[in-house]
Chain A
Amino acid sequence: MSTPHEPGVQPQPEGTNVSTTASAAKDALHTRRAFLFKLSLYLNGAVGAVLAVPILGYLLGPAFKKSASYNSWVSLGPIGNFPEGETRLADYRNPVTMVSDGATGNAACWVRRIDGKKFQVFAINCAHLGCPVRWFEQSRLFLCPCHGGAYYEDGSRASGPPERGLFEYEYKIAGDNLMIQAGAMPTLATEACNKKPKPLTQIESASPAASTQEAQVEERSSSWPA
């Protein structure tokens, strides 16, 4: 009834008409065909839910892996490469890499040899937003090029936007080699070493992988002539 009613013409008694169409529509909803259509919708919903499991599992896979599970012991080379009282840049190949990683699979860290077998190994990443900090031998400071974060030689915060000191790697000396526990890029949430004593839940493997992954250590004393 899209045409407007003529004035004076009595409109048809619509009440009955409406109720019949309504009940007819209601009946139509309960036909066999409507039931099958609904069933097909539920079926597709169920299939979708089943498909969602592998899709989400695949997508969220990396999120469920703990940062620490990526870590393993990596050699930075003989401790003789690191003179006492100095801080030097060391490079290594990340323990978890693929062929397609190319040069991004390399990593660098700052090694400070305090004396004898006492070391501090700092992540290259600023604790503010992850830019590469540089060591300045003369002023005994690490400076960040991005937003000007500064750290003292022991890695503690000196000034600027970082809210904490540099990230530190756990280290050990195996024979003559300096080894660090590395693998995941250190950020505030995925620290390389959170310095808290961890409960010993499993015996640490001797990590034969670490010895085969001989890390290259480039001797660069902050790359500036002193």
Chain B
Amino acid sequence: MASLKKRTTSAAGKTYTWLDRRLGLAKPLTEAAQHPTPARSASWWYVFGSAATVLLGLQVVTGILLALTYSPSAGEAWSSLQFLNHNVTLGWLLRAIHGWGSDFMIAIVLIHMVQVFLFGAYKFPRELTWIIGVFLLLLTLGMAFTGQVLRFDQDAYWGLGIGASIVSRIPWLGGPLVHMMLGGPIIGGQTLSRFFALHVFVIPGILLALVGLHVWMVLRLGINEWPMPGRIVSKANYEHEYHQLTEENGVPFVPDAAWKDAVFAAAIMLSVLACALYFGPFGPTGQPDPTIIQTAPKPDFAFLWIYAVLAYLPPSLETPMLFIAPVVIIGCMLLLPLVAGEGEKHWKRRPVAVLMVGVIAVTLAIFTQLGTYTPWSPIMEAWSGEAVPVAYLQHRSPLERQGALVLQNKQCRNCHALGGAGGMRGPALDSIATRMTEDQIIRQVLQGGGNMPAYGKALSPAETRALVSFLMTLREKNLAPAVDASRSLTHAGAMRVPAESNLLRMP
């Protein structure tokens, strides 16, 4: 028994020696694995980059597996996804892992970026590592967008329409670029093939190459030391100081730091699997048939904030913002390490940096939250689906009840809520009569304005009268109706001349 074990070990040893004599990788790999890191950098804060890399590996593997079944043809893609979901053994789980892996990857890449920013790791000599990291973020988002297109459903179809409409706004080059993007005059087979090539060959190729470069630079320049307030980065001294931290007081990456990376990566992979098992795959939603117009397209989670911003930009600002803002934002991210390559690394001494992270995070969170319930979109079924609350019809005159009917029939509810149900594009009408007088309501209904269409042509005088008389009854908690102060004055002036003495007493 012992001799058998001995023989196996010696055989394994021989194979190893045979291989390494030819490959010569053992020494450089061992050296890379055991490269010294500053003792305090072996921290739980330094695990996000490796987790992102592991997630990328997961995406590559699950992506290849999905490509075994997926059919990148506009006529078949949607049904091939249904086939994956329902007919291929565990196909749904693979789709779910790939989809959730994508969401996790974006999240981890962003967290990694925030950590690197707050720890000042982008400063000398790691400027280029940061710049490549910015491109890695953009490529990750590019993978998310093209991946959403490959899930060739209604959202993907109209998402491409939104993309083409944005591209069409580029001055002079808009038209040619739309055709470049779509591969022809319409969103169709050529478009899907293009995005397939981007998602499967072009972007992953660049992504993997840049990840290789990024990791190579981390190994070459060393992991960022734990920032200390008052330890200033200067180009003259940094390398010497870093050498002291690593060579004299450092610890080997494997095993002192690597076990934390490994544990975190495992936890993230398990989280992806748990989400995939619990929530399942994303879509596909309805078929990508543009003649089915009963749809409210929405982008994936990572792009909801852009969707929200596009709803709130005023028309005149939209085109300039669409093209200037990304250039400025990406430009700032790329220039950051070149402008602020030296100085303090610790977040306690960089209040502006901390504030910026806070403001950006809150802004993105608010717009994403708005994007989840799209208060700017009319609710297309509200007028036929949500009844007028019963309380609003009690003790009303026949004319007022007729007005409630007009309100429903003219689709006012699609934009205006009553009793908490209906669209949120316009203000809720539950207490409209406490805010607007009868004259103001009539004017608003007939002429529109303030983002409301004019209904003058869609309402007969009788309908208008009924509608307005109903709206005048909407005073929540029986608050006093809105009054036109000037009217009461003229009224008082005309009718009650003796009241002049009262006016005279006013200061």
Contacts and interface: CB of A to CB of B under 8 A. Distances in A.
A190 B186 CA distance: 11
28 contacts: A62-B180, A62-B182, A62-B184, A63-B179, A67-B185, A89-B291, A96-B185, A99-B75, A100-B189, A103-B289, A108-B293, A128-B165, A129-B166, A130-B161, A130-B165, A131-B297, A132-B158, A136-B414, A139-B412, A148-B376, A148-B378, A159-B452, A163-B315, A163-B318, A185-B161, A185-B186, A190-B168, A224-B384
A189 B453 contact: no
Contact of A62 (B165, B183, B315): B183
A97 B291 contact: no
B175 A190 contact: yes
Given A145-B377, A150-B453, A190 B189 contact: no
Interface string B427-451: 0000000000000000000001001
A143 B378 contact: yes
A145 B297 contact: yes
A215 B157 CA distance: 22
Contacts of B452: 159
B175 A67 contact: yes
Interface in B359-398: 376-378, 380, 384
B176 to A, nearest CB: 4
B289 A106 contact: yes
A140 interface: yes
Interface string B264-293: 000000000000000000000001111101
Contacts, number: 219
Contacts of B425: 148
A interface, how many residues as a size bin? Answer: 35 or more
A119 B296 CA distance: 28
A-B residue pairs, 5 tightest by C-beta:
A102-B75, A189-B174, A100-B189, A158-B453, A187-B168
Interface string B50-80: 0000000000000000000000011110000
Contact of B380 (A65, A134, A184, A187): A134
Interface in A132-187: 132-134, 136, 138-141, 143, 145-148, 150, 152-153, 158-163, 183-185, 187
B217 interface: no
Contacts of A153: 457
A161 B318 contact: yes
Nearest to B176: A63
A63 B183 CA distance: 8
A136 B412 CA distance: 11
Contacts of A133: 293
A162 B315 CA distance: 6
A104 B310 contact: no
Given A100-B74, A159-B452, A160-B451, 4 more contacts: A67-B179, A143-B411, A145-B380, A147-B310
A44 interface: no
B291 A106 contact: yes
B82 interface: no
B178 A152 contact: no
B310 to A, nearest CB: 6
Contacts of B410: 138-139
Interface string B302-327: 00000100110111101000000000
Contact of A145 (B287, B296, B315): B296
Given A129-B161, A158-B454, A190-B168, A104 B297 contact: no
B315 A129 contact: no
Interface centre among B177, B189, B455 (most CB of A within 10 A): B189
A212 to B, nearest CB: 19
A83 interface: no
B458 A138 contact: yes
B169 interface: yes
B471 interface: no
A152 to B, nearest CB: 7
Contacts of B357: none
